[in-house]
Amino acid sequence: MLNNIRKLFTLIGGRIRRIIDFFYPPFARWFSRRLFRYGVCGVVNMGFNWVLYSAAYNFLFDKQLIDVFGLVPISPHIAALLLTFPISLITGFLLQKYVTFSTSQLRGGVQFVRYISVVTLNLLINYAGLKFFVEMLGFWATPSKMVVDIITAIVSYLCQKYFTFRENV
């Protein structure tokens, strides 16, 4: 069954790659094909995450402090981050593994552990960035999340290319 799921993801990843590559030629002189794929996948996953984050922050948590078991209050922007993190972790990994870095020969389990370590770094950057922009500077949560995500996108690409999905093993 796991092998069938892997084959399905490989098939879907190949189709997504062909769609992205169709739009690549006008950008060829500025970006490598891999960077273009990474950017498209990243923008799609980031946009998906922003929609989820905004819905969680504005509607699910209603911009109110969340009381966890009567012990710890969590601000709504951090609660929204904690809720959306695992979802975007999985969608991001699948897109990067099967669309952007599909030629990496590292085993999937190794890639996933490395991906989690890079995403954990990004989570720490997100946490610190949201604390800084929202709580220290008083900016709105959703635009602050967007700014922090741009910073983490740069960090993430470099880490994914040279660490998580490294090709020369």
Report CA-CA distances (Å) from 13 to 19, 70, 124: 10, 44, 29
Residue 35 lies in a domain: yes
Q: How many domains does the chain have?
A: 1
Q: Is residue 144 part of a domain?
A: yes
Whole-number Cα distances in Å, 93 to 65, 98, 109, 118, 141: 30, 8, 11, 11, 25
Instruction: Tell me how far CA of residue 112 lies from CA of 12, 24, 57, 106, in angstroms.
Output: 19, 27, 28, 10
- The answer to whether 83 and 146 are in contact (CB under 8 A) is no
Look up the pTM and report it: 0.77
Range of the domain at 129: 2-164
Q: What is the pLDDT along the chain (169 residues), one digit of tens a residue?
A: 878 988 999 999 999 999 999 999 999 999 999 999 999 998 999 899 989 999 999 999 888 888 877 788 888 888 898 899 889 989 999 999 999 998 888 888 899 999 999 988 988 998 999 999 999 999 999 899 889 988 888 888 899 989 999 887 5
Confirm whether 169 is domain-assigned: no
Residue 123 inside a domain? The answer is yes
Residue 30 within a domain: yes
**Residue at 109 is within a domain:** yes
